Amino acid sequence: MSDTKEAIAGLVAVALPLWVRAQDDNDRELRNNRLDLRDLEDELRACCNHGANIRNKLPVNQDFGVGLALSNPKAAVPELIPTTSSVTRPAIGDDATLDYKWPPRTGTYTANGAVTEIGEVTRLALALLFQENRAWIEGFTLSSAPSQTALVQIFSAARALSTVLAAQSLSRADYVTAWSKMLGVSVPGTPPTITNVQTGNNVASVTAIGGQAFNNRAMRLRVTIGPANYGAGADVCTVVFGQQFSSVPAVVGDSNVMVTTVTQNSFTLQLRNGYANGSVLDVNVLVGV
């Protein structure tokens, strides 16, 4: 064998074990990488299939999150120039009751979670963050945990209220009147009514003076006499309150007025003096309980 062949054979004898060892190392690393990838795949699959993640992907859960996000006062991503516009509070109208269903109507989302249509629960989550609802819920809490007896009372009161309300067919105005009666206050925007104008006693008309007080607590009225003279002490008209008072109120008129037949619902008005046909007299009345 020539010297060249012997040199090459010697190099191969030295290099071959090194190459085999290197190849074994590469195979081992590849095998370990495959095992690591398999373990990672198993962990990712277990994470994706976890009950909490599956529930979070349900449309109704996403709807609630969207409602909370709508009340977020800050931008979702940082801005180079901060915006000066604030989050505008949306109004929830009476038509919301037409949307209540069970199960709730859910929103529509793309594969990556983008919202294409909000769901019914989105409005609920948004409403829970309104100031009045937060105040009501937090104000309704007790200073300490209630007893079981107290819980039964609270539950029974709430269930009784819903039972009574469900049996009614009242308008919002009717409920304003009912709440006002219970609280002993006047019904906003519900003025008294002038009835039984005594034309037989020569009272041509009794009207509220435009632009001046005419409510359940204070009244400025204009009395017109005709077609003949009015005699002192005769009935002029009856004024019916816009809401019934919880008890018989005190009704006081100015020096021209006498008040009779006061009830929780109305009073009768008279004039102290007689007046000639065609006379016009403005009178003041105050009501209180």
Query: Which residues in the chain land under pLDDT 50?
Result: none
CA 167 to chain centre: 23
Measured from the Cβ of residue 240, the count of other Cβ atoms closer than 10 Å reads 14
pLDDT tens digit string along 242-271?
878 878 999 999 999 999 999 999 999 999
**How many Å apart are CA 67 and CA 104, to the nearest integer?**
14
Ranges assigned E (strand) in the chain? 108-109, 115-117, 193-195, 203-208, 218-225, 235-240, 250-253, 257-260, 266-271, 280-288
Does domain 193-288 bear CATH number 3.90.550? no
**How many Å apart are CA 268 and CA 247, to the nearest integer?**
17
pLDDT of residue 12: 63
What is the model's pTM?
0.51
pLDDT tens digit string along 77-109?
666 666 656 667 888 888 888 888 888 888 888
pLDDT tens digit string along 211-232?
899 998 899 999 999 999 999 9
Using the structure block, give the residue that is written with the tokens 């009161």.
Answer: 157
User: Reduced to 3 states, what is the DSSP secondary structure of residue 117?
Assistant: strand
* Domain spans, the chain: 3-49, 142-183, 193-288
Strand partners, 193: 240
